[in-house]
Amino acid sequence: MTFLIRWDSVMSFAGTGTQSSGTTVSSFSQYCLFPFPGKSVFHSYTFVRLKISEMIRGAYDGFIATPEKFNDLLDGEDERTSSKLRKGVRLWRKLKYQLVEYNSLPAYMRDNEFILGYYRSEWPLKQIFLSIFSIHNETLNVWTHLMGFFLFLFLTIYTAAKSPMVADFNSVQHLSELIGKADLNSIRLELLKCLPSLPNMHEILKLNDLSTSLHSLDLSSLSGWTVVELLTNCLPEQFSLNGLKGDMNMVSPLMVQPITRWPFYAFLGGAMFCLLASSTCHLLACHSQRLSYIMLRIDYAGISALIATSFYPPVYYTFMCNPFSCYLYLGFITLMGIASMVFSLLPFFQKSEFRKYRATIFFLMGFSGVAPIIHKLILHKHQPEALQTTGYEILMGVLYGLGAVIYVARIPERWMPGKFDIAGHSHQLFHVLVVAGAYTHYVDGLIYLRWRDSQGC
């Protein structure tokens, strides 16, 4: 295993600043490569310093030391005391997990030439997990989407807990007004005139003397169509056909169950998968080329999942009364999401030069949402919720689009390379805008739920 060590640190350990093989120190890279041998090869701090000095005074090849070369230098040396051994080990522990610069990275890790420093390079997994609490150029990339993941996890739990057994309909807000307008006392007096045995009905409810109460009731007048006939003849206005229809129209919405929530939860699941995959990728991709390859593909799959599932709430709730249009749009965006995931598995897709193509594919997926939005405005042009949700969807598109432009253009670090290595570079801004866009879509989804809960088809 090879670790990058700062040149000035090596020089201070070696105690030399002279030329080597006719080449000045300043002509070499700021970093040089050293192997990390086992503890048994270290004898003392002085011994390690001596060996580094020998390598510096040698040819340039000595700076890229292989384990074999280093072990050759150690062969034949006598064992020193355990205290000196521990000093040597502590020396290497100080050196082996240094943050490095862009030019010292392996080729597969070079993505943004305007971020000049603070890179982790091929660290062990233990050190990588611990680095989530340290400062480097991926710290905010990890935390912006990790915090976004926990935000949407909370929103999912909150939404599930607040989901009503019966919808909170708009008509419920005016129910007290409707009851207040009704003259319930006059209705009771009119019913008493129509059904003489009605005053004794309370005895049944109290169950004081069931047999006596039953004999006191005129059951024949309370049976079947006889009751309906009496009420219709006695109270023609209250029991007219038009009146009954109006009452049913007023009451029936109160008996409707809430609309299905699965499209909304699909979006929340897609958002959480995208945010967690992105955060994990930025944390672990510096471990090795193989792990980087895997994590980048999971990251791209998460982006595709977020875009595809973002269509589910607006498409389903807009066209739920038009099954053909609903399933046509849902099927189309689902196939596009799967295709983009498959395309992201191709090795060339993660290369830096394909950055623009990656952004273009994801942009086209999002832009395909224009068709169902226009269709919605035509179909529900007189519906206030249609205009309200369209406004949120435009805002979401602006946030996502702005994030994509910043990501591709590498703004602002391209204007001042090295000034935004820790905070403020394009990928961090892109992450913030993605979380903002996803939250905007969450608010948009709540409007769809209230709309369909109150009106149905």
pLDDT digits (tens, 9 = 90+) for 279-301: 999 999 999 999 999 999 999 99
- CA–CA separation, 4 and 99 (whole Å): 8
Partners of 100 in the β-ladder: 119
- Burial status of residue 379 (CB atoms within 10 A of its CB: 0-12, 13-18, 19 or more): middle
Domains identified in the chain and CATH numbers? 2-98 (no CATH), 139-165+258-455 (1.20.1070.10), 170-255 (no CATH)
pLDDT band at 361 (very low <50, low <70, confident <90, very high): confident
pLDDT digits 0-9 by tens, 114-128: 999 999 999 999 999
pLDDT at 363: 80
Mean pLDDT computed over every residue of the chain: 75
pLDDT at res. 301: 92
The answer to whether the annotation marks 282 as part of a ligand binding site is yes
Q: What is the pLDDT of residue 344?
A: 78
Mean per-residue pLDDT, 17-25: 37
φ, ψ dihedrals at 217, nearest 5°:
-85, 140
Sorting pLDDT into bands at 50, 70 and 90, what band is 366? confident
What are φ and ψ of residue 130, in 5° steps? Answer: -70, -25
Burial of 165 (0-12, 13-18, 19+ CB in 10 A): exposed
Determine which of 209-213, 364-368, 389-393, 445-449 has the lowest per-residue pLDDT on average.
209-213
CA distance 119 to 19: 29
More confident residue, 385 or 61: 385
425 is in an annotated binding site: no
Q: Report how far apart, in Å, the C-alpha atoms of 75 and of each of 36, 68, 71, 112 are.
A: 16, 10, 6, 42
93, burial (CB in 10 Å: exposed 0-12, middle 13-18, buried 19+): exposed
Q: What is the pLDDT of residue 340?
A: 86
Of 38-47, 145-154, 207-216, 366-375, least confident by mean pLDDT is 38-47
Task: Find the mean pLDDT for residues 319-330.
Answer: 93
Position 402 pLDDT exceeds 50: yes
Highest-pLDDT range among 173-177, 208-212, 443-447: 443-447
Q: Is 23 helix (H, G, I), strand (E, B) or coil?
A: strand
> Predicted confidence band at 244 (pLDDT cuts at 50, 70, 90)?
low
How many C-beta neighbours within 10 Å does residue 97 have? 17
pLDDT exceeding 90 applies to what percent of the chain?
46
